[in-house]
Amino acid sequence: MSQKFHDRGDHIIYHGDALDVLNSSIPTESVDLIFADPPYNIGKRFSQFEDCWPSETEYVEWSYKWIDECIRILKPSGTIYLMTSTQAMPYFDLYVRSKLSILSRIVWYYDSSGVQAKKHYGSLYEPILHCVKDKKSYCFNTNEILVEAKTGAKRNLIDYRGVVPKPYNTKKVPGNVWEFPRVRYRMDEYEKHPSQKPEALLERIILASSRKGDTVLDPFSGTFTTGIVSKKLGRKSISIESQEEYVKIGLRRVLGHKEYQGEHLSSVTKNTTMKNGRSAKHGVEMGDLFNVNC
């Protein structure tokens, strides 16, 4: 059983299981963009839910079910971005390539000043698949996501390859390695959740792959980064989350609710003073504290 919350209808939150909600409440070919950032089967604790399947096979089989549902609800011109761990991504890649066109295999890279690996190379990226249903007809708003092209903008080089030499472009479409800092404790957007994705990451995805008024769906919403960024960018949103603790974050961030079942909803109160009385440093990576293996 799921519970539905909404404002005038532009932003909807479901408190429930992703597979159940997708299956029972979301019509076929009704969504323009999906961002799916599921539990990775690496043993994180998400409130009452432990991210640990009995075997990798069972994790992958569960994933194929919700991926199929996402494909069903996606419009023919729609786009889906899929995340999972580096170790599970090859399964996702092989599975979806028979059903969708994979346009990009994106690496979200971040520097980490937290707990460092000692006996192997530390993990500093998460993979993202960028897929569309129809590679001849899909949304990609090049001009919305341009970044600085260092050759033209910083080094001021001239391209002599044509008949008439001309300066290199100062802007370009980003490549498939994206550097965005992880959400840190001192950042305004920080919420208490072990796997919060940065708003900047979702901004690029939503700007590139949807238009104003489009519907963006996130089946595993966590801190509702997708919902809040969709709202800021004038898109509609549908967010699903199984854990009540995080649904409360969504009600506050996306729907602007002040109260839930008599409880006042407020953002995280941050302790900026360390035990020795000095101020906490910028860049403390709380996410690393939760990085426990399954």
Binding site for ligand SAM (CB under 6 A): 17-18, 37-39, 46, 49, 193, 195-197, 220-223, 225, 240-243, 246
**With respect to ligand SAM, which residue has the nearer C-beta, 132 or 202?**
202
Least distance (Å) between residue 1 CB and ligand SAM: 13
State the residue number with the nearest CB to ligand SAM. 222
Least distance (Å) between residue 48 CB and ligand SAM: 8
**With respect to ligand SAM, which residue has the nearer C-beta, 53 or 168?**
53
| DSSP calls for the chain | --EEEESSSSEEEEES-HHHHHHHHS-TT-EEEEEE----SS--EETTEE---SSHHHHHHHHHHHHHHHHHHEEEEEEEEEE--TTTHHHHHHHHTTTSEEEEEEEEE----SSPPSSS----EEEEEEEES-TTS----GGGS-EE-HHHHTS--EE-SSSS-EEPPSEE---SEEE-PPP-TTSTT--S-TTPPPHHHHHHHHHHH--TT-EEEESS-TTTHHHHHHHHTT-EEEEEES-HHHHHHHHHHTT--SEETTEE--PPPP--B-TTSSBPPTT--HHHHT----
Least distance (Å) between residue 88 CB and ligand SAM: 12
**With respect to ligand SAM, which residue has the nearer C-beta, 240 or 255?**
240
Least distance (Å) between residue 271 CB and ligand SAM: 21
**With respect to ligand SAM, which residue has the nearer C-beta, 159 or 244?**
244
Least distance (Å) between residue 151 CB and ligand SAM: 33
**With respect to ligand SAM, which residue has the nearer C-beta, 152 or 237?**
237
